[in-house]
Structure 1
């Protein structure tokens, strides 16, 4: 028995539609699988690259670590000319002063840049007129595009002379305060931990500003409107609605800036003074960081275990950076959870 012509057309149309749906579903599944595999491969590649970098630095540092011992590097004398293939004691490659220099320069830079960066981000996102907002955003982002060596030249030509009055004030007043005066003792020769910290704070500013501004923009409108409805002023809205909600994001921005500061090399090298003979407890004194000593001495390392010891310094810098990032993630996660419970 033959099927009516109209019925046959409907059946054919249904079969065509079903086939098209199956092909579409198959293509979608194939595309999803490809995308998932590409994402998985990218993640694995990043992890593999990190492991490869750590392994390379550690393997290059191993001869020096075996010769002197791991813990023998934790002192404050760096004297490559005293190194010997025959002797392993004392170790002339102490790196404690470089760890201290890296930490103190980064901490001072963050003390300067975080309040300024958060304040600028708040102004752009909450106070600034719309006509100026885009211009200010672009200008702050341009700071990140300035090469490190330009910051270094600016520090030498402009910042170091400009810091002399402030350094004189610290020597004459703050240095006389019992307990903390040692951090401000002179003499001040220009190239110093203070100069490196100020240059570094300016370099970190774009990171803190950009991330904080994005965090402030995610605050729900309802929070602001509720504070306004209760009669809050602009400052009260910021203090009670914006800042509490954004606290974890601001902390994350600060730690990202700190990670950027820990590894900065050229600009810091140009203005810190590069004193490798010991720890300068005064911020007006000269010092060195893990990155600056590597940049200064790597091309001229010709003493026994000199290059290998520079790799030890590089490995210490990697460990320091990784520890800071892990701590940052833990703190941000806990603060985010606390903010979620509070809201």
Structure 2
């Protein structure tokens, strides 16, 4: 009896059967599910393959021209000379500076305006105003780039001329408003081009920010109002923290659009071979505008290769910007959680 009792007491309790958290784990996968999963995976792999193929193609076409380049491709900012294909001189220093400068300038102008529009549409505007106003803002994205370029050159530039002259005369001691390599009164400067570019990227930032702000949990907003918070305090304590990652994502999408804008900047921004001086009243070429302006030289593989090399740098630049944006948004989401 004792040994039997001891054996019974020493016997371990049976382990409980684990409960599956996947309700379809033991079910037979349907044919439609398998097809949909395969198509989804194929679409993802196809996108990655296309991006890799573009990068490989640009590198392959750029190597012959880079081999004949007698200047430092990354540090040379002088005259772009590809007339003699046996001894070419070209570099991207000024192109990179002008592209980044005009894009960041446009982004700094567009971000506060887009944030204000998104806050107004989601928190302050009457319902009868939200739809038409949001529709008008979205329509800005449908305007062709060439229309923006013509409008900026013939309509906006004359209006901005007094403002540019005043900034240059009164704040010229600061490098951003100092005299550049172009005429301040002419209008074909980064100052005018950046404002036009800000209008072009405004709908992208506004649309993304508005869609994120609308998703703010209604319970948090009502709780803040119940505690006596004003409408602005609700925006500051609930809406902005919740939607900041979406706001950053929209801004980075707008920056990607600005980096690759071509026709509008080709029309507005005056081309020059003079050195870039980090002034808003400088002129010059961006990556995209230079490539577009030299389309007539693409009949020669070495001349075209020089511009393809510049396009490869632009491709990498936009890829890095988008990657950094994704990392920033992911990091903010993890810290918020």
Distance in 2 between residues matched to 1:163 and 1:54, nearest whole Å: 40
2:94 corresponds to which of 90, 94, 97: 97
Q: In structure 2, do the counterparts of structure 1 residues 305 and 154 end up closer, same or farther at CA, with 3 Å as the change threshold?
A: same
Q: Name the counterpart of 1:162.
A: 159
Q: In structure 2, do the counterparts of structure 1 residues 223 and 300 end up closer, same or farther at CA, with 3 Å as the change threshold?
A: same
For 1:285-296, what aligned pairs fall within 5 Å after superposition?
A: 285-296=282-293
Distance in 1 between residues matched to 2:107 and 2:311, nearest whole Å: 22
Deviates more, 1:228-237 or 1:273-282: 273-282
Q: Name the counterpart of 1:50.
A: 51
Distance in 2 between residues matched to 1:61 and 1:172, nearest whole Å: 44
Maintained 8 Å contact 1:274/1:287: yes
2:190 corresponds to which of 170, 188, 193: 193
Paired residue secondary structure (1:305): helix
Distance in 1 between residues matched to 2:41 and 2:78, nearest whole Å: 46
Q: Name the counterpart of 1:251.
A: 248
Maintained 8 Å contact 2:69/2:90: no
Q: Structure 2: any 5+ residue segments left out of the alignment?
A: 1-26
CA deviations 1:262-292 (Å, max 9, x no partner) are 1110011110112234314211121110000
Maintained 8 Å contact 2:96/2:286: yes
The structure with the greater share of residues assigned to helix is 1
Paired residue secondary structure (2:219): helix
CA deviations 1:46-90 (Å, max 9, x no partner) are 1111111111111111101223379534210133256451x4xxx
Distance in 1 between residues matched to 2:237 and 2:253, nearest whole Å: 25
1:181 corresponds to which of 175, 183, 206: 175
Q: Which runs of 4+ in 1 moved over 4 A?
A: 301-304
- CA drift of 1:181 comes to 3.1
Paired residue secondary structure (2:210): helix
1:306 corresponds to which of 293, 296, 303: 303
Distance in 1 between residues matched to 2:201 and 2:75, nearest whole Å: 29
Distance in 2 between residues matched to 1:75 and 1:42, nearest whole Å: 41
Q: In structure 2, do the counterparts of structure 1 residues 109 and 336 end up closer, same or farther at CA, with 3 Å as the change threshold?
A: same
Q: Name the counterpart of 1:20.
A: none
Q: Structure 1: any 5+ residue segments left out of the alignment?
A: 1-24
Distance in 1 between residues matched to 2:312 and 2:105, nearest whole Å: 23
Q: In structure 2, do the counterparts of structure 1 residues 272 and 116 end up closer, same or farther at CA, with 3 Å as the change threshold?
A: same
Q: In structure 2, do the counterparts of structure 1 residues 51 and 331 end up closer, same or farther at CA, with 3 Å as the change threshold?
A: same
Distance in 2 between residues matched to 1:107 and 1:281, nearest whole Å: 12
Deviates more, 1:271-280 or 1:321-330: 271-280
Matched, 1:138 2:139: no
User: What TM-score, normalized by structure 1, do the two folds share?
Assistant: 0.85
Distance in 2 between residues matched to 1:245 and 1:202, nearest whole Å: 26
CA deviations 1:90-126 (Å, max 9, x no partner) are x521211010111001000000000001110111111
Q: Name the counterpart of 2:8.
A: none
Deviates more, 1:61-70 or 1:37-46: 61-70
Deviates more, 1:211-220 or 1:241-250: 241-250
Residue-pair matches, total: 308
- CA drift of 1:192 comes to 0.8
For 1:273-292, what aligned pairs fall within 5 Å after superposition?
A: 273-292=270-289
Maintained 8 Å contact 2:80/2:90: yes
Q: In structure 2, do the counterparts of structure 1 residues 277 and 222 end up closer, same or farther at CA, with 3 Å as the change threshold?
A: same
Q: Name the counterpart of 1:21.
A: none
Q: Name the counterpart of 1:14.
A: none
1:334 corresponds to which of 298, 318, 331: 331
| Aligned-residue CA RMSD (Å) | 1.9
- CA drift of 1:172 comes to 1.0
Distance in 1 between residues matched to 2:44 and 2:118, nearest whole Å: 32
